[in-house]
A = this chain, B = another copy of it.
Amino acid sequence: MTDAYDALMEFERETGAIAHVAGRLSWDQETMMPRGAAAQRGEEMAAMEGVLHARRSDPRIGAWLATLEAAPEPLGPVQAANLRHIRRSYDRAVKVPARLAAELARVTSVAQGVWAEARAEDDFAAFAPTLSQVLKLKREEGAALADGGDVYDALLQDYEPGATAEQLSAMFGALRPRLKALLDEVRGAPAPARLSGTFDEDAQMRLARDIAKTFGYDLTRGRVDKAVHPFSSGSGNDVRITTRTAADDPFNCLYSTIHEVGHASYEQAVAQDYLFTPLGQGVSMGVHESQSRIYENQIGRSQAFTSYLFGEMTRRFGEIGVPDAEAFYRTVNRVHDGYIRTESDELQYNLHVLLRYDLERALVAKELEVADLEEAWNARFAADFGFAVDRPSNGVLQDVHWSVGLFGYFPTYSLGNVYAGCLHAALRRAEPGLDSALAAGDPSPATGWLRENVQRHGGLFEPRDTIARATGEAPSEGPLMEYLETKFRDLYAL
């Protein structure tokens, strides 16, 4: 039995290492690759995916699992967790017919290009037939995975193992009216100032790197580059992030960096023993997002930390258009109308996500068809945000996710925010002196607490349990809402 476990884990570690190489290749594609290499890179990625798929569905895994699951001896927690992950991944790999997997890969790789063009042309009709194809295949895949159970729940497992739509809908259903009510309150109050001036982009990158280090990102095991979209990639001792700069908006660079540092620090903090095993990375998209969001928002946009940041920015950039730390805090947290999820503020962000969650559940459940999607999007947007979508690129065409088959991914963004709310409440209880450290530019009491209570465990516990163990209670939307209501009522003097 030890032999079977060792053989299985050696095989898994090799697969993990190869998967990490594929991840490095994606990083390269977004940062370093010459543009003429795109088609060739597609062939390289397909070959790597072929290797990974063959390994993940290798019948030897089934045999090792059968031996180990039938063994009478009790397993240690690490062994049990590894087997749980491997069983889930193996079942997934063998449940989806090879024909369907290949068809999905083919269709989504084309669909992304079709989506990009339709968005550029502001023409949803040009994307609709392709999206219908993707949706049809994802419904098929979900049905194959669900084994008679709920199709949407089955898709959700790829991103948030253990989560169910029922659970999420309960949280989100409680969240939505309170967010809308808070938004209505804020909209009645005077708007804070905006930054003015232009901000040297090299100086923004230097500030971003310094702040990244301040938040505990280890640059001997990572690096920061510019890319079109900010992202974090890699595990263990090679976790890289990207950010972007705009001369008139230093917050874009800075808060994208802090967000990605949250993701990257999580990966860097996972116990080294777990490297390349199923435990050797963040446990789910939701828990991942909880780290990026608590770094970015509850810590990075706090009054205490922004008072430090105000000093740093005026020292580095001179006059920035706001008079003092108090005004700067309001500027950082300014609530502003907009169509685009990724540009949204902390208050409205989850309304964007909830809209997508409800629509994609309806799509998967065949309660909504692609032909009616644009109208449904626009109606829901007007209902939640109080104004109309002006064009598809500001509405139903804004996100890449559905084009590449990511149905079940969106809710993990809001789940991450809910988890961040829970963690933040527990963190404040555990670290009553946090604000004075943050005001001195030192987030280490927060990042240290998160490392110890969440990050180092990697995939050891199920996602929801990871949060529950760290906070001492079952996750709910309550702490997030209380935090938001307190923060924005205070900010807007309501």
Contacts and interface: CB of A to CB of B under 8 A. Distances in A.
Contact of A221 (B21, B24, B34, B220): B34
A223 B48 contact: no
A36 B220 CA distance: 5
Interface stretch (A37-45, A193-201, A330-338, A368-376): A37-45
A42 to B, nearest CB: 10
Contacts of A25: 21, 24
Contacts of A238: 33-34, 36-37, 40-41
Quick one: which of A20, A21, A237 has the most chain B CB within 10 A? A21
Nearest to A39: B237
Contacts of A39: 237
A262 interface: no
Contacts of A13: 43, 47
Q: Provide the main secondary structure of the chain A interface.
A: helix
Contacts of A219: 34
B220 A47 contact: no
B33 A18 contact: no
Contacts of A24: 24-25, 28, 44
A51 interface: yes
A473 interface: no
Interface in A20-62: 20-22, 24-25, 28, 32-37, 39-41, 43-44, 46-48, 50-51
B34 A223 contact: yes
Interface string A210-229: 00000000111111000000
Given A28-B28, A44-B21, A36 B223 contact: no
B32 A223 contact: yes
Contacts of A218: 36
A78 interface: no
Contact of A21 (B21, B34, B222): B21
B18 A276 contact: no
A17 interface: yes
A401 to B, nearest CB: 26
Q: Of residues A14, A17, A276, which shows the largest number of chain B Cβ atoms within 10 Å of its Cβ?
A: A17
Interface of A: 13-15, 17-18, 20-22, 24-25, 28, 32-37, 39-41, 43-44, 46-48, 50-51, 218-223, 236-238, 240, 275-276
21 contacts: A14-B47, A17-B43, A17-B46, A17-B47, A17-B48, A18-B44, A18-B51, A20-B40, A20-B44, A21-B21, A21-B44, A21-B47, A21-B48, A24-B28, A24-B44, A32-B223, A34-B238, A35-B220, A36-B237, A39-B237, A51-B51
